[in-house]
Amino acid sequence: MRKIKEILRLKYDAGMSYHQIARSINVSTSTVHDIINRFTRAGLNWPLSAELEDEKALEALLYLEQKAAATKKPEPDMGLIYKELKRKSVTLQLLWEEYKDLNPDGYQYSYFCERFNKWRAKLNPVLRQVYRAGERTEVDYAGQTMRITDPDTGKTYDAYIFVAVLASTNYTYAEAVLSADLQSWIASHVRAFEFFGGVTEILVPDNPKTGVHHPCRYEPELNRTYEEMASYYGTAVIPARVKRPRDKPNAENGVLNVERRIIAKLRNRTFFSIAEMNQAIWAELKLLNEKPFQKLDGSRASLYEELEKPALKPLPLQPFEYAVWKKLTVNIDYHVEVDKNYYSTPYQLIKETVEARITSSMVEIIYHGKRVASHCLLLGKGRFSTLPEHRPASHQKYLEWTPSRIAGWAAQTGPNTKALAAKIMENKPHPEQGYRSCLGLIRLGDRYGKERLENACARALFYGTTSYKSVNSILKHGLDSKPPTEKPEFKPVVHANIRGADYYSSGGELLC
């Protein structure tokens, strides 16, 4: 404030010169000249009258001409300027230039900015921050819950209220959910994006454990599913700092509005389902978004339609599908376990750590960011899903042998080999054991030749030793080249110390 009264006192009471007055109160000589001249032109006398004792009244009288000249300049539309600043790349410099084009005698840039900043300072504190349209969405859960009553038992349950706010226009979305777990958190985001009809560049949540594993001011560690959802929609998650609600003021204000204008209004209603509750919430939400601003033209809904909606990124054709990520180690049978079922991976990944992405219909195996396997989700427990290409070559070759193929191979080798293979398959208690024995015969054919194998099988059939081991022994000792002789006749040994069958039939007494 100018030191007008002191300058006048030193001039008229003390009789000091202009230079002395300037040095005394630390102002320029030109300022002293200007005030004395204004005092003289105004026709005022010293000492001042009682009504001019107030310095503000005296200043208003001395600078009346200047203020009158200033008021003649065209006033800029502050509300329009505030709205236009929300558009991308729009600055005060550009708006001032447009103002000067329409009003050549208007304010200069510095005074234009000064007047706008003074006007903006009188707005609601929540609206002081200027966010570009389509720049950020702030999300949070309301501190208050609502109650759902079971119509059969009368028992009540808490419903959590999810709130999402577009920062530029304060356009708000809210819904009730039965759980605050990760799946509900993701689903609420997806429905909020559909409500807004697009996605902003930045997503600002608090630090819920469902979405942020490890809060950090510089590099927060996000939940993998939450991070995947943000990537799918082309937005970036930047969590607010811990215990810093001003990092997301629009969400805080949005939660406050939802609590006061929706939850409080519905406090006396009884809801029997989450769908019924959300219908009531959305009806009140529409009124909230369409409520006119007190100090600005329009409403949240009108600003959203005019500014925010055109600036949002378009939604993908399909909504994000919720998926759970798990870190797993590949077992020695090149399978991983997911919910008590087993899914194959390439055998080269045995003992490696992989990630499983689990949706409602699929299980995907990810290794170093690359998908290496994909399976349909198995229902039940203890089931296997194995892709043939994941097996080693030796396993694939082994599993290619079926009973019909084994019989075909045996018939090509010879009738004796075919007959022996059939005997082996019949005598084994489990087909898998028969496959193994027959595969052994195939290996013997590769080693000794089909002719020798056919002769060895004939010898084995003659003596009734129908097994892989007997054929292998015959070939190993070269017995396949010798014709089989008559089967040795079994002759019982007779000796006084040997009890015959009659001993047991007679109750243990020897018959003499």
Q: What tens digit of pLDDT does each residue of 111-142 get?
A: 888 888 888 777 654 444 567 888 888 888 88
Q: Check whether residue 417 and residue 477 sit in a common domain.
A: yes
| Complete DSSP assignment for 205-273 | ----TTTEEE--SSS-EE-HHHHHHHHHHT-EE-PPPTT-GGGSHHHHHHHHHHIIIIITTTTT--BSS
- C-alpha 428 chain-centroid distance: 55
Domain boundary residue, one of 255, 286, 311 = 311
Give the mean pLDDT of 199-211. 75
The total domain count for the chain is 5
Average pLDDT over the chain reads 79
187 and 67 within one domain:
no
Based on the fold, state whether residues 159 and 293 are members of the same structural domain.
yes
At residue 289's C-alpha, the angle toward residues 249 and 248, to 5°, is 10
165 and 296 fall within a common domain: yes
Among 283, 311, 339, the domain-final residue is 311
Give the pLDDT score at 244: 56
Instruction: Tell me which residue range forms the domain holding 368.
Output: 324-391
Residue 322: closest CA among 139, 203, 164, 186: 186
Q: What is the pLDDT of residue 177?
A: 92
Ranking 35-49, 215-229, 317-331 by mean pLDDT, the lowest is 215-229
- Looking at the structure, tell me whether residues 238 and 289 fall in a common domain: yes
pLDDT at 278: 93
The single-letter DSSP state of residue 318 is S
Domain-embedded: residue 498: no
226 inside domain: yes
CA–CA dist 15, 17 (Å, integer): 7
What pLDDT sits at residue 255? 85
Over residues 343-371, the mean pLDDT reads 87
| CA dist 424 → 440, 449, 464, 467, 480 (Å) | 11, 20, 11, 6, 19
- The CA-based angle 458-463-467, given to 5 degrees, is 75
Same domain, 303 and 237: yes
Task: Please report, rounded to a whole number, the percentage of residues in the chain having pLDDT higher than 70.
Answer: 78
Top pLDDT among 394 and 133 is at 133
Check pLDDT > 80 for residue 76.
Answer: yes
Average of per-residue pLDDT across 279-300: 87
Among 12-16, 186-190, 385-389, 415-419, the minimum mean pLDDT is found in 12-16
Say yes or no to pLDDT of 440 above 50: yes
pLDDT reported for residue 68: 47
- Helix, strand, coil percentages in the chain from 3-state DSSP, rounded to 5: 45, 15, 40
Tell me 340's DSSP state: T
Would residue 446 count as lying in a domain?
A: yes
Write down the pTM of the prediction.
Answer: 0.51
Look at residue 506 and tell me if it is in a domain: no
**Residues 463 and 330 reside in one and the same domain:** no
Tell me: the pLDDT tens digits for 155-187?
988 999 999 998 888 899 999 999 888 888 899
pLDDT digits (tens, 9 = 90+) for 272-284: 999 999 999 999 9
User: Do 291 and 410 lie in a common domain?
Assistant: no
Predicted pLDDT of residue 495 = 58
What pLDDT is recorded for position 28? 84
pLDDT of residue 218 exceeding 50, the answer is no
What average pLDDT does range 23-51 have in this prediction?
Answer: 77
CATH number, position 183: 3.30.420.10
